[in-house]
Structure 1
Amino acid sequence: MEKFKKRWEITENWQLLFPIAGIVALGYSSYKISNTIVGDFGLFALVISTMVLFFVLLKFTLFLFKKLENKWILDAKWEMIRVFIVFAITGSSSMFIGRPIIKLLGITKENLNPILYWVLFIIIGLIFYQILLVTFGWLFGQFQFFWNFEKKMLRRFGLGRFID
């Protein structure tokens, strides 16, 4: 355990919450994906595919950590897990919020060209994504990181003049 704490620069026991939450979320995601793909093949196939997918996703996530470790300016490595959790929650939440908003506006696949519908759906999702990213970043104690990330993203969209 000490080796794990040292590797992730964990100095307080409460900081272990984030690696545990990350592993649980990765396991749940692996199960859900495996259940979608091989759910009809029985419990044994589901368990094996979940374990294989968990291992592959874990390796991919650790690869991302290595790549982003020098790019993102954070105080400790365990904070990267917190940042990934914020990105995951924000992506899901923006679609959950965007879906009812688009229905409230009366926009459906049936009354609009499907391509135009998806373009509008993505635009509405992106608008809420920007707001939720900073909000969840603040809730998880990473406001400054996400505010800087948001400013950089808005500049790339050509909206930098509105934030400076």
Structure 2
Amino acid sequence: MNAFKERWEIQNNWQLFFPFLGIVGLVYSAYAIARKILSAFINNSDNNLLYYILLAVGIGVFFFIMLRFFLWCFKKLENKWVTNYRWEIITIFIVFALTGTSSLRIARPFLEWFGFTRTLFADGFFGGFFYWIVRIIIILPLYQILLIIFGTLLGQFKFFWEFEKKMLKRMKIIK
């Protein structure tokens, strides 16, 4: 455990929450991906043992692949992102995951509140195209707001405030 704490520059035990939350998120993501792929090939209506064995193998494979990918991302981003400790990079990844998921989940009720539904625009290519354009227009400001909220809640306000300013400058919204 001391080697883990040293590697991620963890000084206090409460900081272990972020790597733990990251691992739980990876396990859940691996489970969701494996279940979705497996259910396309095997029907689990009769609770067969083969399904659960393949699901466990799929979870292990996807967990390993995603873990390797994120560790690779940490190496690439640790010099680019200005943080005090390495464990803060995990927190930043968690904020991005929560923000992306939440903005997608919240966008649909917003669209329905304004009267935009998929069935309303389901007629042909242009209907679906218009629906997604409106959805993206709603998601963009929602994402920016949620990024600051989740960043603040997880103690990374300064990082995400600077990130927001940089993003808005690139989008030429502010100078």
TM, length-normalised to structure 1:
0.95
Residue 111 of structure 1: CA displacement? 2.4
Aligned position for 2:81: 72
Aligned position for 2:63: 54
The farther-off stretch of 64-73 and 118-127 is 118-127
Aligned position for 1:13: 13
Report whether the alignment pairs 1:103 with 2:112. Answer: yes
Question: 1 CA distance for matches of 2:17 and 2:167?
Answer: 29
Question: 1 CA distance for matches of 2:142 and 2:55?
Answer: 35
Residue 110 of structure 1: CA displacement? 2.7
| C-alpha RMSD of matched pairs (Å) | 1.0
Unmatched segments (≥5 aa) in structure 2: 43-49, 122-126
Q: Matched residue of 1:159: which SS? A: coil
Question: 1 CA distance for matches of 2:113 and 2:54?
Answer: 42
Larger radius of gyration: 2
Residue 95 of structure 1: CA displacement? 1.3
Identity of aligned residues (%): 50
Q: Which amino acid aligns with 1:51?
A: G
Report whether the alignment pairs 1:115 with 2:124. Answer: no
Aligned position for 1:154: 168
Residue 98 of structure 1: CA displacement? 1.1
Report whether the alignment pairs 1:125 with 2:139. Answer: yes
How many aligned positions are there?
161
TM, length-normalised to structure 2:
0.89
Q: Matched residue of 1:110: which SS? A: coil
Question: 2 CA distance for matches of 1:50 and 1:111?
Answer: 38
Report whether the alignment pairs 1:83 with 2:82. Answer: no
Question: 2 CA distance for matches of 1:28 and 1:66?
Answer: 23
The farther-off stretch of 105-114 and 48-57 is 105-114
Aligned position for 1:22: 22
Q: Which amino acid aligns with 1:38?
A: L
Report whether the alignment pairs 1:94 with 2:108. Answer: no
- Give a deviation string over 1:17-49, Cα, whole Å, max 9, x none: 110110011001000110000132611111101
Aligned position for 2:51: 42
Unmatched segments (≥5 aa) in structure 1: none
Q: Matched residue of 1:160: which SS? A: coil
